[in-house]
Chains A and B, each alone.
Chain A
Amino acid sequence: MKLVIEPGRTARNYWRDLWHYRELMYFLAWRDLAVRYKQTAIGVAWALIRPALTMAVFVVFRRFVGIPAGSVPDPILVLAAVLPWQFFAAALTDSSGSLIANTNLISKIYFPRLIVPGAAVVTALVDFVITLGMLAVLMAWYGFAPGWQLLALPVFVAITFGLSLGFGVFLAALNVEYRDFRYVVPFIVQFGLFISPIAFTTDQVPERWRSWYELNPMVGIIDGFRWSVLGGRTPLNLDAVTLSLAMTLFFLVLGVWYFRRVERRFADVI
């Protein structure tokens, strides 16, 4: 095996290296989880408390505003949206800051840098799977059975994964070069929480604004997620899902392209 290092030469073996180092992604994700659950006294409970409290706040909000209860109990309806949203938010926050957080690795060891934001998204995925258990318990409590639509759940999880990875990788690369992007991410996350259909459903958005509203890629994802988990009791808007999928692919291509373009400078500027 011959390796050539030259200026401007993007390593030809990049994708093969990425495959070779795939276990590193697993180990980095595992490290982040292990450390988090060792350091915090309440451990795994932490992954559950956040969505539970968010859900509670939005359920109370719905009562306050007087949104009429539908065929689905409010806590289930809201939690089914909080979970994919928090998966996206955590994955985006952690992956966009991941390169800075792993400066010591990047300046001392070679490996395909995509591993680092990738591991952050995997970490968020594990947390997400744990919280899915909470949703299952809640649904059992209400005696609420999902239908065949549940089979589509992995598709929506995969779209969320791809969207947060693409967007996160893009922001991570920008973050290395321009550190003020770390202020952008909390804003996106905070703002997104309000403009995504979490406390309400998309069909409550006035018709004439809806096509604009669906430009938020999380709309299609959250609607699809709800539809899948709630046995089709909320509508599935295939146009919105298609749009989300298209934007996911766009961000994946953009993110990976930009990341690869600036990656070789990381060690010099970080």
Chain B
Amino acid sequence: MSDAVIRVDHLGKCYRISHQRQQSYVALRDVITDRVRRLWRREPAGNRPSVEDFWALTDVSFEVKRGDVLGIIGRNGAGKSTLLKVLSRITEPTTGRVELDGNVASLLEVGTGFHPELTGRENIFLNGAILGMSRVEIARKFDEIVAFAEIETFLDTPVKRYSSGMYVRLAFAVAAHLEPDILIVDEVLAVGDAAFQEKCLATMKNVSRTQGRTVLFVSHNLGAIQSLCRSAILLERGGVALSGSVESVVAAYTHTSESRAVVDDLSRCARSGTGEARVMGIRFEDDAGVPRNYFRMGESFNVVVTANFPTPLQNPTFGVNILTDAGVLVADCRSSHYGLEFGRALGTIEYHMRIPSLALYPRTYVVEPWLADTGVLADIDWVRSAASFVVTAGPNFMSGANVNAHHGISFIPTSWSAESVP
């Protein structure tokens, strides 16, 4: 008998996806008319609106021991969120079994149930109750929560007047004072400033190491995963691709993502815009034209975006947003900032952007290519989280000094001198 507190056994989750339906919801009216029509015409079953089974999770098994912190990594759509939803009992699995030994609290979103009209004080009680705390418990921890969130002076202000930083701090503070045996956390560190992220990480470390609680932690921030977790699992296409020590799993994950220097299928990405033209693919290259998705600081870096214009467009603006893996916008690079006009766009167009010297600190960066109509200031197509690249601290850079993500986002070239003052 092992001392596993979380035992996941051949877990699977299947969603039914209908391809023909335009509406996002089902109307009974449509269900009835559909049934009646089929009855009348005796249509074969094959003529139904095509319904496809989509397995978001397949045959997932793992165990977590008491007091352990397990990191879950994987690309968008790999099934991380679905797994957490099943474990937090929000949705039911289709197959398999989960055993959880102890009470569970999950934090899939920061500030779930916060109401903008209510004050900070009121929201602490409301949010605490939603997370499963009793009124007495919240009242007992109230001062601690307020101190942790650093919002003393704004306690009686409606949270709609809070800055986003204050909002996130308050929300995390409430969650941090839960006392579950098992804590499930999804990507909550993607928000808030760096100092607060550090504080959250420290709190979560404390939760597992000194209080003996078990934590499941999902993040895109590999640095956070590495500093917090001892073991990790890698999810790919709904299944466990690898599990083991955090070092080996993170290494494998960054290795598999190297092959993603060329992304030619963006159909699974979220996008917005008029859709008059579409971004079809994106790749990263070095100056020799070799695809690659890891670059050293100070190296030159090329982004090549392929776009398709079915109808002619006059002088579209080409753009590439660079974000940190935590979602902070580093730069919105666009052709219009240079007053560039490429004339009439029609058919397939490849546009190139070159950064001569990559002045970014080591971490994973996310890239979002976009097209916009400069005339009417409207997005034509904007692909979210299309691809990512990794910046590493090369041995030749800064005479081998140990630079890392903690030093900031954008490297600012500086010059230094020191003189002794008599």
Contact = CB atoms under 8 A, between A and B. Distances in A.
Contacts of B244: none
A31 B132 contact: no
B190 interface: no
A109 B108 contact: yes
B83 to A, nearest CB: 12
B112 A35 contact: no
Interface residues of B, number: 45
A58 interface: no
Contacts of B117: 34-35, 38-39
B68 to A, nearest CB: 18
A2 B115 CA distance: 33
A109 B99 contact: no
Given A5-B87, A5-B100, A109 B112 contact: yes
B107 to A, nearest CB: 9
Interface string A187-220: 0000000000000000000000000000000000
Contact of B88 (A26, A110, A174, A180): A110
Interface stretch (A48-56, A69-77, A260-268): A260-268
Contacts of B101: 1-3
Q: How large is the interface on A (under 10, 10 to 19, 20 to 34, 35 or more residues)?
A: 35 or more
A109 B103 contact: no
Interface string A1-45: 111111110010000000011011011001100110011000000
A180 B86 CA distance: 29
Given A178-B28, A180-B29, A2 B112 contact: no
Interface stretch (A100-108, A145-153, A250-258): A100-108
A11 B101 CA distance: 15
B27 A178 contact: yes
A94 to B, nearest CB: 16
B28 A5 contact: no
A160 B95 CA distance: 41
A63 interface: no
A5 B115 contact: no
B113 A105 contact: yes
A130 B112 CA distance: 30
Nearest to A263: B92
Contacts of A181: 28
Nearest to A184: B28
A111 B27 contact: no
Interface in A212-270: 264-265, 267-269
Nearest to B85: A267
Contacts of A107: 90
A251 to B, nearest CB: 19
A54 to B, nearest CB: 28
Nearest to A2: B101
Nearest to B125: A27
A269 B108 CA distance: 18
Contacts of A8: 92
Given A1-B103, A2-B100, A179-B27, A108 B115 contact: no
B287 interface: no
Given A21-B132, A110-B90, A7 B28 contact: no
Nearest to A20: B132
Given A1-B103, A4-B99, A178-B27, A109 B130 contact: yes
B93 interface: yes
B421 interface: no
B46 to A, nearest CB: 25
Given A31-B118, A178-B28, A5 B98 contact: yes
A34 B97 CA distance: 41
A21 B122 CA distance: 18
Interface string A162-191: 000000000000100111110000000000
Nearest to B182: A3
A110 B89 contact: yes
Interface string B123-135: 0011001111011
A178 B31 contact: yes
B102 interface: yes
A2 B101 CA distance: 4
B249 interface: no
A180 B117 CA distance: 30
Contact of A267 (B25, B28, B91): B91
A112 to B, nearest CB: 10
Contacts of A30: 126
B229 to A, nearest CB: 23
A110 B106 contact: yes
Contacts of A26: 129
B240 interface: no
B159 interface: no
Interface string A63-107: 000000000000000000000000000000000000000001111
29 contacts: A2-B101, A3-B99, A3-B103, A4-B99, A4-B100, A5-B89, A5-B92, A5-B99, A5-B100, A6-B97, A6-B98, A7-B94, A8-B92, A23-B129, A27-B125, A27-B129, A34-B117, A35-B115, A38-B117, A38-B118, A104-B113, A108-B108, A109-B88, A109-B131, A110-B106, A174-B28, A265-B92, A267-B91, A268-B15
Interface of A: 1-8, 11, 20-21, 23-24, 26-27, 30-31, 34-35, 38-39, 104-111, 174, 177-181, 264-265, 267-269
Given A2-B99, A34-B122, A111-B130, 15 more contacts: A2-B101, A3-B101, A5-B93, A6-B97, A11-B89, A21-B132, A27-B126, A34-B117, A104-B112, A108-B90, A111-B132, A178-B27, A178-B31, A264-B92, A267-B91
A-B pairs with lowest CB-CB distance, top 5? A178-B28, A5-B98, A110-B89, A27-B129, A3-B100
